[in-house]
């Protein structure tokens, strides 16, 4: 391969990686080969990510989460036998970014669809990708019963505390006092109840064997989130039961914050109500340090 071709391919990969990653670790890293004076690619777009340019709002962390899903699918050699099920809301857009078979389910029905796919095609790896309004509101029943049945699927919950796509209305996960377009004075638990902690709610069910919550607010947390996601996927691969990982995500546009402030808000305020960590691990597994 000529140097010009190699450099041209490298530039294309760099552009794709930068667009798709959208993460603190997402820039392409180049290093010089010792003594040769040439550069080589050591970090690039995972094969499971398409080259589609992101259309998520600035500061949204869906892009980081997409990349982690893609990296783990590739590292576990799951490409070619994975079926993803998207939901309604911003999370539906994942079908455009992951180069795997995807199904778009009706609102709240992602886990019902995933159940059908897994039972008909038990050799496939099946995951859902859902927002909090989808999984924890209209889809609560599907979530609870899929977990209770111990379905061998993995649910990825992206919790940003609002209905992001439709204008920032209050969601079941909106924090007390948090202002939204339908709670302009701040959520009042006396009127609208308290936010739902899905992993904790599911923890009493025997079929739910791995439940965890993570953030992606810093490179350290992104790396930890990837380890957690991989463990959730391994639960399914070992046929142990239902697994779920909740990502605390930012929504700067609807929170009316700049992206950096939105991440700091998660670190300082959101984690007080939604503490990150492994809520439940399979018997015999050691929790992550």
Per-residue model confidence (pLDDT) at position 37: 67
Contact assessment for residue 94 and residue 133, using Cβ atoms and an 8 Å cutoff: no
User: What domains sit in the chain, N to C, each tagged with a CATH number?
Assistant: 61-280 (3.40.50.970)
**24, 76, 72, 29: which is closest to 49 by C-alpha?**
72
| pLDDT for the residue numbered 92 | 87
CA-based Rg of the chain, rounded to a whole angstrom? 19
Q: What is the pLDDT of residue 31?
A: 52
The whole-angstrom separation of Cα 210 and Cα 286 is: 12
- The mean pLDDT values, 10 residues at a time, for the chain of 289 residues are 36 37 42 62 90 93 96 96 93 92 95 98 98 94 97 97 91 95 95 96 98 97 98 98 97 95 97 97 93
Predicted local distance difference test score (pLDDT) of residue 157: 97
Instruction: Find out whether 159 and 199 touch, Cβ atoms under 8 Å.
Output: no
Write the CA distances from 184 to 169, 170, 177, integer angstroms: 10, 9, 9
Q: Are 125 and 153 in contact (CB under 8 A)?
A: no
Question: For residue 172, what are the CA distances in angstroms to 175, 193, 282?
Answer: 9, 9, 28
Task: Please give the pLDDT value at position 20.
Answer: 38
Those residues whose C-beta lies under 8 Å from the C-beta of residue 215, and which sit 6 or more positions away, are 221, 225, 247, 248, 266, 267, 271, 276
pTM of the model: 0.86
What was the pLDDT predicted at 233?
98
- Residue in this structure with the two tokens 């790396």, named with its chain if needed: 223
């Amino acid at each position: 391969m000529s140097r010009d071709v190699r450099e041209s391919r490298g530039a294309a990969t760099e552009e794709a990686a930068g667009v798709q990653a959208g993460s603190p670790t997402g820039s392409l890293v180049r290093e010089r080969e010792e003594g040769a004076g040439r550069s080589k690619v050591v970090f690039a777009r995972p094969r499971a990510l398409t080259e589609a340019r992101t259309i998520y709002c600035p500061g949204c962390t869906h892009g980081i989460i997409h990349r982690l899903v893609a990296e783990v699918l590739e590292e576990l050699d799951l490409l070619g036998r994975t079926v993803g099920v998207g939901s309604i809301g911003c999370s539906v857009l994942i079908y455009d970014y992951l180069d795997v078979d995807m199904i778009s389910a009706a609102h709240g029905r992602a886990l019902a669809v995933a159940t059908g796919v897994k039972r008909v095609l038990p050799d496939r790896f099946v995951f859902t990708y859902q927002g909090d309004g989808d999984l924890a509101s209209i889809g609560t029943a599907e979530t609870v019963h899929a977990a209770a049945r111990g379905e061998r699927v993995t649910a990825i919950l992206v919790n940003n505390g609002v209905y992001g796509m439709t204008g920032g209305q209050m969601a079941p996960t909106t924090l007390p006092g948090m202002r939204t377009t339908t709670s302009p004075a701040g959520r009042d638990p006396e009127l609208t109840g308290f936010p739902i902690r899905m992993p904790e709610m599911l923890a009493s069910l025997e079929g739910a064997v791995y439940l965890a919550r993570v953030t992606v607010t810093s490179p350290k947390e992104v790396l930890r989130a990837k380890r957690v996601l991989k463990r959730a996927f391994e639960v399914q691969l070992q046929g142990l039961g239902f697994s779920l990982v909740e990502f605390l995500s930012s929504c700067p546009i609807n929170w009316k914050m700049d992206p950096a402030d939105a991440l700091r808000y998660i670190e300082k305020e959101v984690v007080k109500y939604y503490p990150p960590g492994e809520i439940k691990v399979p018997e015999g597994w050691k929790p992550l340090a």
